[in-house]
Amino acid sequence: MNVISIGLLGLGTVGSGVVKIIENHQDKLMHQIGCPVKVKKILVKDMNKERDVQVNPGLLTVNPEEILEDSEIDVVIEVMGGIEETKDYLLRALRNKKNVVTANKDLMALHSNELLAEATKNKCDLFYEASVAGGIPILRSLVEGLASDRITKMMGIVNGTTNFILTKMNNHGAPYEEVLKEAQELGFAEANPAADVDGLDAARKMAILSTLGFSMPIDLSDVKVEGITGITEEDISYSKKLGYTMKLIGLASRSGEKVEVSVQPALLQDSHPLASVNDEYNAVYVYGEAVGETMFYGPGAGSLPTATAVVSDVVEVMKNMRLGVTGNSAISPQFKKALKEPGEITAKYFVRLHVKDEVGVFASITSIFSEHGVSFEKILQMPIKEKDLAEIVVITHQATLQGFEQILQKLQDYDMVRSVKSTYRVEGDKII
């Protein structure tokens, strides 16, 4: 093999980074795979658009056929985004015996099974390391580095936008709307930030992580999702007083043969390593039966970090091509899907209530919790000025989700409770 030719779908932020790395790291790539790597064609929407990287105009095309039907192109790199049209492109590439590397978390969260099956059928590789946590090599670590272990839990900060917002809220006491505006001005948040702040972006990544980590076909619809838009300055303040840091946490845990996957704001003990992951950085904490606790930390997005993950996948494809073993990377899930019921999910919880400031109210509230076998680990109680109300904040001991939901319903029905202001899961205890 004298040269490996690449077709690039997309030349935005990540695509530009891919071109830069391939151009600037030719000596390293030559050393790794034994032959030059060249980008032969790049699919763009606008031939005349100014870009972050200078490329020969002759490489650009608006016609996908010039990549998908070119027999000389060995690897198709997809960094254009989108779902249905992009899926069709990648299926065609695989059917034309082209290996594929993608950074598209949306696509892989929804259609990974179909794409991986097509890759295996056509003896092609399909890698997608960059789809989760940017430049952090978490997927390869799960599939290869921890292949001999049994993963019991993965807990992570996998969305840089929300982590930036919550870092500002935690450190400066700034309100959500103000910090969101700042994040948009700095380019950390989109003009329409819904996918990030509503938790959908993180949920897609957790579906991918849990499918690989647990070898179980987890769909996006299996992920319980809650975003950060309801977090208040009061919630942040109380969590800090109690020794916790608020983060948007992607959580995937396994007990026996059943799993739970969620994305939700959670309180982390200040001593937990994830509590100190700030700004736009990502981190994934992995618990294995043999290895114990490990954490993967780094930039979760950006041109060069994400492009590094893409090109690392390309190197892996090229090594497989030279060995003649492409198409063997996809491993079907070992286990059938088995999701935990609410009565099987256990956690600690933060609860903030406004109640009538009268004798005996706290005792009545305590009895509601104790009826379901739930006790308190931490308690704060203080009056609210001029309202004849008191604010009660508690951290519970372990409770089932089913029991906790029943408690909340009773609190909402109790006439001495003016309102349940907020509830959050509490995480960060050491796994024994």
Residues 106 and 152 placed together within one structural domain of the fold: no
Residue percentage of the chain with pLDDT more than 90: 74
Residues 382 and 409 placed together within one structural domain of the fold: yes
Residues 317 and 294 placed together within one structural domain of the fold: no
427 pLDDT band (50/70/90 cuts)?
A: very high
E-strand ranges in 10-140 read 37-43, 60-61, 75-78, 99-102, 126-127
Stretch (H or E) spanning 50: none
Neighbours of 275 (CB within 10 A): 20
36 pLDDT band (50/70/90 cuts)?
A: confident
Residues 291 and 310 placed together within one structural domain of the fold: no
pLDDT average, residue stretch 241-260 = 96
| 41 found inside a domain | yes
Looking at residue 115, its amino acid is L
Strand partners, 379: 394
Mean pLDDT, the chain, rounded, equals: 92
Say whether 205 is catalytic.
Answer: yes
Residues 314 and 369 placed together within one structural domain of the fold: no
Least confident of 184-188, 245-249, 272-276: 184-188
Residues 94 and 116 placed together within one structural domain of the fold: yes
205, 247, 340, 348: the catalytic one is 205
CATH number at residue 202: 3.30.360.10
Look up the domain containing 396 and give its range: 342-427
User: Which pLDDT does position 216 carry in this prediction?
Assistant: 93
Residues 161 and 175 placed together within one structural domain of the fold: yes
User: Which pLDDT does position 431 carry in this prediction?
Assistant: 43
Nearest to 125 by CA among 140, 136, 135: 140
CATH number at residue 369: 3.30.70.260
Sign of dihedral through CA atoms 340, 346, 351, 355?
positive
CATH number at residue 36: 3.40.50.720
Note the pLDDT tens digit of each residue in 375-424: 999 999 888 877 789 999 999 999 999 999 999 999 999 999 999 999 99
User: Which pLDDT does position 272 carry in this prediction?
Assistant: 93
| 328 found inside a domain | no
| 336 found inside a domain | no
| Gap between the Cα atoms of 269 and 427, Å rounded | 7
| 216 found inside a domain | yes
Residues 152 and 288 placed together within one structural domain of the fold: yes
Residues 250 and 118 placed together within one structural domain of the fold: no
Strand partners, 259: 254, 339
Residues 237 and 161 placed together within one structural domain of the fold: yes
User: Which pLDDT does position 119 carry in this prediction?
Assistant: 94
Least confident of 53-57, 140-144, 176-180: 140-144
Residues 104 and 155 placed together within one structural domain of the fold: no
Provide the domain count of the chain: 3
Residues 243 and 362 placed together within one structural domain of the fold: no
Q: Is the pLDDT of residue 331 over 80?
A: no
64 pLDDT band (50/70/90 cuts)?
A: very high
User: Which pLDDT does position 316 carry in this prediction?
Assistant: 92
